[in-house]
Amino acid sequence: MNAYMRGWKERERDYCHDVLLRGGRVVGETLGGAAAFVSNVLDAASPAGASLAVVSKVGHDFAYATAAAPARHPPVLCASPTTSFHARFSDDAASAHAPDRQLRRVHACDPIYPADLPDRRFAYGLAVGVAGEVLPETLERMIRLCRAVLVDAQALIRAFDGEAKGGGAVRHVALEATPYARLLPRVAFLKASSEEAPYVGVETARRRCCVIVTEGRDGCRLYWDGGEARVAPFPAVQVDPTGAGDSFLAGFASGLLWGLSATDAALLGNFFGAAAVSQVGVPTFDPKMLQAVKQILEKAVKRPCTHINGNTFTFQRSSIHDELHKSLQEAAMLVCEQKQANSPATDNGDVCSINELTSLPS
Ligand SMILES: Nc1ncnc2c1ncn2[C@@H]1O[C@H](COP(=O)(O)OP(=O)(O)OP(=O)(O)O)[C@@H](O)[C@H]1O
Ligand SMILES: O[C@H]1[C@H](O)[C@@H](O)[C@H](O)[C@@H](O)[C@H]1O
């Protein structure tokens, strides 16, 4: 891996405030937003020496300035309020692909403008966002600055009903009808959840870039022009689905940075997606678990293999895929053990306890 590949550019809109509701009652208030979840995983899982630049915005009401991710990657302060969401959880057992919560944007901070991006070149750019913050012109500038750009469809296809004062229920629009569609041939990877996939149009999009569809507890699938792969999930006791997609994308990007093929890197995406749903809000990772993951990756990339990531991506699973899955599964068990050890107490300090979110009566 050369020094140039170690540079990162991560472009996202704001950290946000998430209010979790069940049966009309507030059961949690947490730091949220793609900036929080993505940088949390990238900081934890990237190879030594990787540097990360985060561009994000919040208002003066931002309540989590001293939390780990914002303290490491301070946001720009704006006059408008911090983006905030209400997430209403239903009491019905959600299927792997059904929406598990209704999201409502309550406030929206400023978008990221092209001039907000640093005047530097980067190996990778992550265009992620939660509230319509990725302007087409900003994505275009990111594409010019970075050798490869990974995009979360969530940042491109969300629209908000009843836009008054930045609020509104989250709905989706067809990607093809947005100004982002023409940029797809210059994007390397587009990630969508199975709920978002119909709006992305996987069959059309895969001819322009590699599309990754995340399928909750079932793991994910990759679709590229000429092939596809299913990547198995990891065990998790889900207590809060928020941030799974963000954490997946960051884990996947870390895998690429380690030199894995796309299908192998998706294992790391699934791993961190599973870790995210195991805790309320932005997850904290057991240092022993992280050390185990890094040792597994160091061993994996030392093997003679052709799946080193340049700018030409290798998509297929490598010969080490199954072994990598098995080793990560053992590390994932450490996450489950950590969760069991922490439960029922609050494990990240700024939210309700896990038990409250999972078992509060409506
Ligand atoms: N219950 C679960 N058990 C194990 N892994 C999970 C579970 N839920 C999610 N994951 C992992 O996280 C990834 C992303 O989850 P999902 O498809 O639910 O994303 P999402 O809907 O974008 O999430 P969110 O919008 O809540 O951030 C999945 O591909 C999977 O690897
Ligand atoms: O904090 C969360 C998270 O970033 C999710 O990915 C997004 O779907 C939500 O809108 C947001 O509130």
Specify if 353 maps to a domain.
no
Q: What is the pLDDT of residue 330?
A: 92
Upper half-sphere CA count for residue 307 (Cβ side, 13 Å): 23
pLDDT at position 342 is 65
Q: What is the pLDDT of residue 307?
A: 40
Phi, psi (5° rounding) for residue 28?
Answer: -170, 145
Q: How far does the centroid of ligand 2 lie from the alpha carbon of residue 302, in Å?
A: 36
Q: Give the number of the ligand closest to the Cα of residue 247.
A: 1
Please indicate whether residue 85, judged by its CB atom, sits closer than 6 Å to ligand 2: yes
Mutational pocket test of ligand 2: of 10, 17, 18, 88, the residue with most ligand atoms within 8 Å of the beta carbon: 18
Strand 101-107 and strand 84-89: the pairing is antiparallel
The pLDDT of residue 332 is 84
pLDDT at 191: 98
Please indicate whether residue 274, judged by its CB atom, sits closer than 6 Å to ligand 1.
Answer: yes
Residue nearest (by alpha carbon) to ligand 1 atom 31: 270
Q: With beta carbons less than 8 A apart as the criterion, state whether 156 and 130 touch.
A: no
pLDDT confidence of residue 24:
86
CB contact at 8 A, 35 and 262: no
CA of 33 to the centre of ligand 2 (A): 5
Q: Tens of pLDDT along the chain (362 residues)? A: 223 334 444 444 479 999 999 988 999 999 999 999 999 999 999 999 888 999 999 999 999 999 999 999 999 999 999 999 999 988 765 555 556 789 999 999 999 999 999 999 999 999 999 999 999 999 999 999 999 999 999 999 999 987 665 679 999 999 999 999 999 999 999 999 999 999 999 999 999 999 999 999 999 999 999 999 999 999 999 999 999 999 999 999 999 999 899 999 999 999 999 999 999 999 999 999 999 999 999 988 865 444 433 456 888 899 899 999 999 999 888 766 666 666 654 433 322 222 233 332 22
Within a domain: 192: yes
Centre of ligand 1 to C-alpha 231, Å, is 13
Residue 215 CA to ligand 1 center (angstroms) comes to 6
> Is residue 241 in contact with ligand 1, taking CB distance under 6 Å?
yes
- From the list 43, 100, 152, 246, the catalytic residue is 246
Alpha helices in 260-353 (DSSP H): 262-277, 287-302, 321-342
- ipTM of the complex in this document: 0.98
Look at residue 357 and tell me if it is in a domain.
no
State whether the beta carbon of 216 lies less than 6 angstroms from ligand 1: yes
Quick check: is 218 catalytic? no
Task: Quote the pLDDT of residue 283.
Answer: 95
Q: Closest residue (by CA) to atom 1 of ligand 1? A: 217
The domain containing residue 261 runs over which residues? 3-345
Atom of ligand 2 nearest to the CA of 32: 1
Q: What is the CATH number of the domain that holds 242?
A: 3.40.1190.20
| Cβ(250) – ligand 1 distance below 6 Å | no
Helices 262-277 and 244-258, packing angle to 10 deg: 140
Q: Provide the sign of the torsion angle of the four alpha carbons 305, 306, 310, 316, taken in this order.
A: negative
Does ligand 2 lie within 6 Å of residue 124's CB atom? no
Structural domains in the chain (count): 1
